[in-house]
Each structure stands twice: as structure tokens, then as C-alpha cells.
Amino acid sequence: MALVNQFLAGAVAIASLLLLWFLFMAGSSKQSNKAWAQLVVVGISPGDGPLSWAFALAKSVISMQETMREGYEKFSKANKPFALPTMWIRGAVLVLPPSKLGLLNKPRNELSSFNALLENAQFQYLMSDKDVWGNTIHFDIVRRHLREKDMSSLTKIMFEEWQGAFQTYWGDSKEGRVIKAWDSMVRIIARAALRIMVGLPGCRNEDYLEQSRLYANAVLVDACLINCLPPGIRPVAGPVIALRAKYYERKLLNLLIPLVEERLFQYRHGVGSQRDSQGDVIEWLIEVSENHGPEQLTAKKIAGRILALTSMFVFAIGWVFVHVVLDIHCSPSSDKIVRTLMAECQQISAQYQELSSKEAIDKLYRLDSAVRESMRLNDVMVHLLPLDIISGQPVNIGEGIQISAESGLRTVFPAQMIHHDQDIYQNPERFDAFRFSREHETSSNEEPTTAKRESVTTVSTTFLPFGYGRHACPGRWFVAYMVKQATAYALLHYDVEVTKSPRKRASLLNFMLPPQKAELRVTRRQ
């Protein structure tokens, strides 16, 4: 079933549950925390009763974007916080203005995103092993092995997968081939991503690749649907919704456990293998697990941690790649954009023999700008960077309001609205491929200067897809280099025509629906 159809089918079921819940729970929906008395709740007028709260929570499933936009224009731009009703927590989150992004530099023992991210991912329903999702030692490999300096070796490894991946999913037809943009490009990314996860030959196992894609989609869709349910219903409905993800989890574990067992044998007995010299996620997880006790050093546990990273490696990177390609080719200026980017890729490829090195990818300034611009336009979520205050002194959020660990309030930032703010970005709804490289260019034929250039991995108060402060994504270089390599390959080897444009973007609660219906005609260049 197509991803969007899965969302729609789930939405119908959710609507039925919401109606029953609305009637039953209306009397207990109003926020009782006294801190809310000082805040304006967008969508609810002062003095409104419990029914208004219940209605606002139910409405948040389909109107989060509009409500956030209203609050941003009225309050965030006036440097004021506001409360946003959301079914996610059956209450409201506290939306902080951009001026408070500095809070993200506070120590993690005072301000934490851990519980919020777990609740958003709904792993307690979607993953069988509580220790895997509750004890996230697998994130250590992102911090240790996916840093900027690690890209020197990883770009060479990823480069080996593009030709086979594109030929498999885009083909080599000189007459053109119509494909589903979302499905084909997520598969392409999966091929290279899984090379880094399990190495050769596992990454080229079509069954493993397809099950990984289906699992990543199931985790995404099912988590979103569970978040749309009232929390009181989730313990009953959550396990039912999660049956599909659990099914793919079992299939993937059956494929992964033998791979991990073989690696564990090699590791324990010092037996060599043909894996990449840089290593892969299996090897890195073995090293990390050994430092956390023998109970972590089992094939099933390590395989479970690979699954926990699969959605990030497959879906998240695929999301960026799909939108970059669609933005380039849907733009009214697509011909000029494609010519400019092709010329840059051809020039750098000739200079470095190919685009397999970090040094070569670093020279793709205009392509980097196009990727950054696409990420600005296409947030995965309406609000980002959820935080809970867990200790320390109360935090002043303005308007004489202070919040503390005792308040029990969860804060978020209006990232999507910041990225579409016309006071920050000129013509913010337009894809301007060279928005971030133009001011550094001296002529169309010269290399842009590097002085104070914001690359796709540069986080700032006006660019938040990769987070901010101490909560910036440590794996952002991996995402950036993979997407730039894949996009460059597509530009150099294929003519692309959008035959079915993506629909207007819509949200389901906080999650933006992917461009599932978009189609492309791809023709292999001579």
C-alpha cells in the first residue's frame, strides 16, 4: 500500500477513535497546570471550557501547520511564547520564540530532549527490545564515526554504490522511463546507506534492502498514527497499529542476526574479512557494545540496534534527496539550475577525476546551496527541538514567565515558520537554488569564495533542520555528503522530467506528508 494511502487509512480509524474519545474525555482536557494561566493558547479563547480544549486537541491532527502559523505571526515574531494544543501529549506544548534558541546550549543534565524524542518515535510500541530503544548506546557510533573528518573515507565507499543503485532503480533507457519519485529515490539512498551499515555483500541483498525500506516506512507511518491518538487510547491501539512494523522487524532480524554472528566470530577469533577498511555499523556496534557489558555483545542485541538506526539511515536521508531532486526539476528556472549545477559537477569531476573524494564534494558550492535551500523549504516536522527542563534554575521565557522542572512543560521551536519567514528569507516560498552561494560568486564561471559561507551543515538560528547548539545533529555531515553525491550522479547521468508534480504539502499532526504521488521520467544521458 502506498505510504500516503496508509496515512489516509489510519486517519479514518483515528477519526473514529477521536470521536469516541472527544465525548468521553471532554471534561478532563483542559490544561490544569497553573503556569498555563500566564500563556496565550492559540486556538482557544480565554474562558473557553473543556469542550474547546477537546476540540482543539482533536483538530491539531489536521491543522497543526495553520495553528502554528497563526501563533508564530502573532507571538513568536513579537518575541513572545505561546501554547500550542497538540494530541501528541493531550495538552499543549510551549512554543518558544527564536530568541530563546540559546537555551539549547544549556547542559544536557538541565535540559533534555531524550524523553520527547522517544515519545515522538513511539519505540515502546514499535520495537520489541526495550533496552535497545531505552539505552541508546548505538548513537555513540554517530558521534564517533560519522563526523566531518570521517567523510574522507566514507565518500569513497558510498561512491561505489551509485552506479549500481541508479541503474537498478532508474534504469539505463535512452527513451525514458517513468518512475515513482519517492519509492525509487529512497531505494537508491538505501543501497548506499546500507553499505555503511552492513558492508558488502549484505547491502546488495535485494531482500534485505527492500525489507529495510518497508521497515523504515512502517516505523515512520505507525509512529505518526500512534501520536495522533489520545494518549489514553495508545496502550490498547498502539500495539495493534505496530503489528506491521513488528512483522518487518522480525523479518529483518532473521536476515541480520546471521550477519552479526559471523562478524562476532571474526571479532572474537581475529579472523580477517573483506569488509571496508573504514569499518561499518556492525563493526562499530560490536566495539561500542563490548564496553557496555556482555549482555550487549549478542547478535540479537546488535541486530536490534542496527534496526534502531535504519529509519535514520534510510528514510531521513531519502527524504532530503527526494526533495532536492524535485525542487530542482519543479522550479520554473529548472533549465538554468540544471545547466549551472551540471557545469559545476562536470568541472569538479574533471578536476578530481571523479566525485568520490571529500575534497571534490567540498568544491560543489552551488550544489551545496541547492541542498541547503531544499532542506529549508521541506521540513520533516512543523515544530522541532522538543525539550524538557529536568533540573537547574527556573528559565525565564519572557513576559515575566518562568518555567522549571516542576512545571512539567515541554518546549518546542517553530522551525518551519522560521524557515518560511519573509523577514528572514526573501521570497521564502520560492526554491532559490543559489540563495546561499550567490553572494560568494564573482561570475557565473568562477568558483564561489569560501569566506563566511554557510554550507548545508552550518546550523544557525535561521536554519534548524539539523538542530542547534548542543542539540545539533552529529550525523549531519553523513547526510550532506551522501545527498550531494547522489544528486551529482543524477545530474551528470540523467535527464529528468517531472511528469506528475507533488501535491501541496500537508501535515498530519506534527509530521509533514512525503511527496508520495510525484512521478519522474528519467532518461539515461549518452
**Tens digits of residue pLDDT in 437-462:** 998 876 544 555 555 789 999 999 99
3-524 CATH: 1.10.630.10
Model's pTM, two decimal places?
Answer: 0.92
C-alpha grid cell for residue 101? Answer: 534558541
- In the prediction, which pLDDT does 51 show? 82
Name residues whose C-beta falls within 8 Å of residue 471's C-beta, 6 or more positions apart in sequence. Answer: 104, 113, 385, 387
Grid cell 534496526 — which residue? 307
Ranges of each domain in the chain: 3-524
pLDDT band at 8 (very low <50, low <70, confident <90, very high): low
d(CA 305, CA 124): 14
Is there a contact between 318 and 380 (Cβ–Cβ < 8 Å)? no
Angle between helices 317-330 and 334-351 (to 10 degrees): 120
Grid cell 504521488 — which residue? 517
Average pLDDT over residues 394-410: 83
Q: How far is CA 160 from CA 88, 320, 355, in A?
A: 42, 20, 11
Phi, psi of 384 (to 5 degrees): -130, 175
Average pLDDT over residues 180-206: 95
Average pLDDT over residues 464-472: 96
Q: How far is CA 200 from CA 60, 175, 182, 298, in A?
A: 45, 33, 25, 21
d(CA 174, CA 256): 37
DSSP string, 202-243: GGG-HHHHHHHHHHHHHHHHHHHHHHHS-TTTHHHHHHHHTH
Whether 320 shows a pLDDT value over 60: the answer reads: yes
Whether 12 shows a pLDDT value over 70: the answer reads: no
Average pLDDT over residues 195-214: 94
Residue with more model confidence, 444 or 487: 487
- In the prediction, which pLDDT does 26 show? 47
Q: Annotated binding site for heme, which residues?
A: 473
The one-letter amino acid code at 166 reads F
- In the prediction, which pLDDT does 24 show? 45
| DSSP reduced 3-state for 331 | coil
Whether 318 shows a pLDDT value over 70: the answer reads: yes
* Kind and range of the H or E run holding 167: helix 151-169
Whether 61 shows a pLDDT value over 90: the answer reads: yes
Is there a contact between 184 and 161 (Cβ–Cβ < 8 Å)? no
- In the prediction, which pLDDT does 271 show? 72
| Strand ranges, E, within 118-166 | none
d(CA 406, CA 412): 17
Q: Annotated binding site, which residues?
A: 473
Q: Across all residues in the chain, what is the average pLDDT? A: 90
Average pLDDT over residues 202-231: 94
The one-letter amino acid code at 15 reads A
For every residue of 417-437, which 3-state class applies, written as one string? HHHCCCCCCCCCCCCCCCCCC
DSSP string, 455-476: -TT--BTTB-TT--GGGS-TTH
**Tens digits of residue pLDDT in 364-379:** 999 999 999 999 999 9
C-alpha grid cell for residue 306? Answer: 542496527
Residue with more model confidence, 399 or 433: 433
C-alpha grid cell for residue 52? Answer: 474547546
**Tens digits of residue pLDDT in 404-431:** 888 888 999 999 999 999 999 999 999 9
Percent of the chain with pLDDT over 70: 90
pLDDT band at 209 (very low <50, low <70, confident <90, very high): very high
Count of other CB atoms within 10 angstroms of residue 467: 18
Range among 16-30, 66-80, 111-125, 261-275 rated most confident: 66-80
**Tens digits of residue pLDDT in 78-128:** 999 999 999 998 789 999 999 999 999 999 888 999 999 999 999 999 999
